[in-house]
Amino acid sequence: MSLNFIQIILVLIVSFLAGMEGILDEFEFHQPVIACTLIGLVTGQLVPCVILGGTLQMIALGWANIGAAVAPDAALASVASAIILVLGGQGKAGVSSAIAIAVPLAVAGLLLTTLVRTVTVAIIHIMDKAAEEGSFGKIDFWQWVAICLQGLRIAIPAGLIIAVGSGPVKAMLDAMPTWLVDGLSIGGGMVVAVGYAMVINMMATAEVWPFFAIGFVLGTVTEITLIGLGAIGVGLALIYLNLSKMGGSSSDGGQSTGSGDAVGDIIDNY
């Protein structure tokens, strides 16, 4: 599939915003489910890109910056794999190949983010000097320069992929052997499991386990639509909020014997 001029401009804008949001974390454009969806929307390949974004989002659950260790670049993986999926023209059938490409791209993106962050160290010193001079205008200017560099970190690779064209991209996808695609897909699935396990481990408290169990079981019922599941989720959230206001602690001689976790006390005393 070839992109027209308007689509190329829109894809580059989405890529630029995804790169900026990789640092800002305000509107979450760098998250796979959002970046891939936006690219699918502007290119007319919404359904395959939503599937790709949802799958990559599960993988990205296990990616986090811990101390000096920088997580794989979710923004570059999302944008580049979505563009490759669109240019390949394989639709839903190309999602597996795009996912197989996304993980190596995420690791390669670490080099770009390290390069940009190294450059911005010099910008920080310039801003420090501007602060000593009391020049708030210079501080704002160089702040925008640093953020725009983060946007270009994703927009330039996106532009290069588009410049390569749909023909070579499609040929590359078709040339990928089945064993490679299947192996990378299995590896990506294992990363999904690890990421989801990390999230569960962080939220594994006495008061939320019942809600998790209910949601897990309801998720297996195929007759319930996403709107229905959403309504059930809102209902469970309201139940949780009401339980949290009930207190859950008792008084003995004027002294509270609760643990401070209202819902947890209710469950423990049940």
In tens digits, the chain (270 residues) has pLDDT values of 778 899 999 999 999 999 998 888 788 888 889 999 999 999 999 999 999 998 888 777 766 665 555 677 888 888 988 998 898 877 777 787 787 777 777 777 778 888 888 888 899 999 999 999 888 899 999 999 999 999 999 999 899 889 887 677 667 766 777 777 677 667 666 665 666 676 677 666 777 777 778 877 877 777 888 788 888 888 888 888 887 776 544 444 444 455 556 556 666 665
Does residue 214 sit in the same domain as residue 110? no
Domain boundary residue, one of 202, 224, 247: 202
Single-letter code of the amino acid located at 129: K
Does residue 196 sit in the same domain as residue 214? no
Contact 127, 142 (CB under 8 A): yes
Domain that holds residue 241: 205-269
Contact 150, 19 (CB under 8 A): yes
Contact 154, 22 (CB under 8 A): yes
Cβ neighbours of residue 72 closer than 8 Å, sequence gap 6 or more: 63, 103, 106, 107, 109, 110
State the DSSP H helix or E strand holding residue 252, giving kind and residue range, or none if neither: strand 251-252
Altogether, the residues listed in the chain come to a count of 270
Does residue 194 sit in the same domain as residue 234? no
Alpha-carbon gap, residue 135 to 158, rounded angstroms: 35
Q: What is the pLDDT of residue 261?
A: 60
Domain boundary residue, one of 202, 224, 241: 202
Does residue 158 sit in the same domain as residue 40? yes
Does residue 58 sit in the same domain as residue 124? yes
Strands (E), 12-53: none
Question: Cβ of 144: how many Cβ atoms within 10 Å?
Answer: 10
Does residue 169 sit in the same domain as residue 232? no
Domain boundary residue, one of 176, 202, 228: 202
Question: Cβ of 163: how many Cβ atoms within 10 Å?
Answer: 8
Backbone angles phi, psi at 220, to 5 degrees: -90, -10
Whole-model pTM: value is 0.66
Does residue 103 sit in the same domain as residue 17? yes
Q: What is the pLDDT of residue 187?
A: 65
Does residue 181 sit in the same domain as residue 61? yes
213-216-222-223 Cα dihedral, nearest 10 degrees: 40
Does residue 45 sit in the same domain as residue 157? yes
Q: What is the pLDDT of residue 254?
A: 43
Does residue 186 sit in the same domain as residue 262? no
Does residue 143 sit in the same domain as residue 80? yes
Does residue 154 sit in the same domain as residue 198? yes
Overall domain count for the chain: 2
Alpha-carbon gap, residue 33 to 21, rounded angstroms: 14
